[in-house]
Amino acid sequence: MLPVNRVWDSVQLYSVRCEECSKWRIIPSKEKYEEIREKFNENSFTCAKVREWRPQVSCQDPTDIEEQDDKYIWAMDKPNIPRTCPGWQRLIRMRAPGGKRFADVYYVAPSEKRLRSMVELDKFFEKNPEFLHGVINTSMFSFQAPVPLDENYIAKRRSRAPSASGSSNTRNVPLEVNQNLWIVPFENKDMNVGVPDGVSTEAPSQLKLKVFFFL
């Protein structure tokens, strides 16, 4: 069993793009991000939503973060993933380039047991039915990981046919991802990205990546 204080996330910051002005707005917490992602297909995101934590913000303000920066590794997230159950943690750990997968998703139970798949989750609930109390059930968990926009980040399984224009398709993505739903990990944890006042950018010493969520 890996103690919860030794399990760290590749995610530190989140950002969503306003549907009206197309500017990026940094989200102040993982909980707020999960709230937005859970209802991704139902509720549009605008700068008006940001006023919950930044009362003066509007579409006239500059973007919080610039896109298309070489320092970033772009990835597409899955929409409508349920919010993490109270007492649990949902962690995304990005893998090194050249592997078979971009990232792994873990759930950490209140007992600090780390789970890596639905199979492990089912076995955990069989042995520990007390954690199924109240409204908690397996439909509230998702191990779907983000997908990198740069297909060269992970090892290729087969060669790709050129597109009609003659160039290879670098955005051949699985159907289950949403191409408007983005996360961006990057390695310089001291970079100034225009974080609003009151949003902490402190990271544990092991943390080498930050992630932004884009809409």
Nearest to 38 by CA among 181, 136, 151, 150: 181
Instruction: Say what percent of the chain tops pLDDT 90.
Output: 31
132 compared with 88, residue with greater pLDDT? 88
β partners of residue 14: 27
State how far the Cα of 18 lies from the Cα of 1, in Å rounded to an integer: 41
Rounded Cα distance between 4 and 113, Å, is: 8
Query: Does the CA dihedral 44-75-73-32 come out positive or negative?
Result: positive
Integer Cα distance of 208 and 73 in angstroms: 13
Strand order of the sheet with strand 75-76?
147-148, 75-76, 182-183, 213-214
DSSP 179-197: TT-EE--BS-TT----PPT
Chain centroid to Cα 180, Å, comes to 13
Rounded mean pLDDT, 47-69: 89
More confident residue, 104 or 9: 104
Q: Point out which residues pair with 115 in neighbouring strands.
A: 107
Q: How many CB atoms lie within 10 A of CB 159?
A: 7
Question: Has residue 194 got a pLDDT over 80?
Answer: no
Q: Could you tell me the two tokens for 21?
A: 């002005």
Does 203 or 162 have the greater pLDDT score?
A: 162
